[in-house]
Structure 1
Amino acid sequence: MTERIVVVGAALLDADHLLAARRSAPPELAGRWELPGGKVEQGETPEAALTRELREELGVEVEVIDRVPGEWPLRPPYVLQVWTAHLLPDSPEPKPLQDHDELRWLSRDELWSVPWLDQDIPAVKKVATRLPT
């Protein structure tokens, strides 16, 4: 059996909004929205990977809070795990630095106004329960 590779996604929360990122690459994912993040490297904890990926992709500094229960299959051998996080007080505002061309802070009522990647939908549903109504 192939060892699974964990991809961490960030449910980056700001009060009552969730950050969504629109993919610009690869072509088959471009234009769809996701929770930003990336692969956990050898010897790295998921929390450290998330902090690194958000710094690389969005230019932000975050505090990782906790893991959203569940794990969602991506294409083998990848699985998605999602963690909630908040921007640190001295962090710059997020900017789409790589793999994304647009970012949006979505309220609970706006969550489904963007076409999410299929594999992110179950995670976004779980995160939605943490946003105020």
Structure 2
Amino acid sequence: MKKNIHVVGAVIIKDEKILCAQRGKGRVLPFKWEFPGGKIEEGESPQQALQREIYEELQCEIEVGDQIELTVHEYDFGIVHLRTFYCKLVEGEPILTEHVIIKWLQCDELENLDWAPADLPTIEKLTSTALLEY
């Protein structure tokens, strides 16, 4: 039986653009694009996990807003349960510690990237609705 992995992703919006991050060479799903975030640790809410992960990965602080999507996707390494949330930067600018590159893109540009499969339902939702300036 495959392991269930509960993760969160931040859809960080700034000036009507969304932060997109590319995974590194030595990681699972190398060079795929994703919304930054990570695993929920025991005792954390999804929102707390997201704030911690963004601070660890991008050295900045965010405010977490409404949930966008809950996606369950089966990979060869496990079943990922991804919750994505609207977020905004409250302190600092992203500094790369785990990703190889970041881009700020408009909604209609998101589909041009090679996304991790679990992120695709969020992409579909973002491109089919008006972007909230959270």
Q: Decide whether aligned partners of structure 1 residues 74 and 37 sit closer, same or farther in structure 2, where only a CA change above 3 A counts.
A: farther
Q: Which runs of 5+ in 2 are unaligned?
A: none
Deviation at 1:72, TM superposition (A): 2.6
Preserved contact between residue 11 and residue 127 of structure 1 (Cα < 8 Å): no
2:113 counterpart residue number: 114
Give CA deviations for 1:9-63 in whole Å, capped at 9, x if unaligned.
Answer: 1111113111100000445522210011000000000000000000000111000
Secondary structure of 2:18's counterpart equals strand
Q: Which runs of 5+ in 1 are unaligned?
A: none
Q: Distance in 2 between matches of 1:35 and 1:65?
A: 15
User: Please, what TM-score do these two structures have when normalized by structure 2?
Assistant: 0.85
Preserved contact between residue 71 and residue 121 of structure 2 (Cα < 8 Å): no
1:62 counterpart residue number: 62
Q: Decide whether aligned partners of structure 1 residues 45 and 118 sit closer, same or farther in structure 2, where only a CA change above 3 A counts.
A: same
- 2:126 is matched by which residue type in structure 1? V
Tell whether 2:39 aligns with 1:39: yes
Give CA deviations for 1:63-121 in whole Å, capped at 9, x if unaligned.
Answer: 00111143332433431111110001xx11112112x1100000122112211112211
Q: Decide whether aligned partners of structure 1 residues 42 and 18 sit closer, same or farther in structure 2, where only a CA change above 3 A counts.
A: same
Q: Decide whether aligned partners of structure 1 residues 27 and 54 sit closer, same or farther in structure 2, where only a CA change above 3 A counts.
A: closer
Secondary structure of 2:108's counterpart equals helix
Structure 1 or 2: more strand by fraction: 2
Secondary structure of 2:50's counterpart equals helix
Cα RMSD for the two superposed structures = 2.1
Q: Distance in 2 between matches of 1:59 and 1:96?
A: 8
User: Please, what TM-score do these two structures have when normalized by structure 1?
Assistant: 0.85
Q: Distance in 2 between matches of 1:94 and 1:44?
A: 23
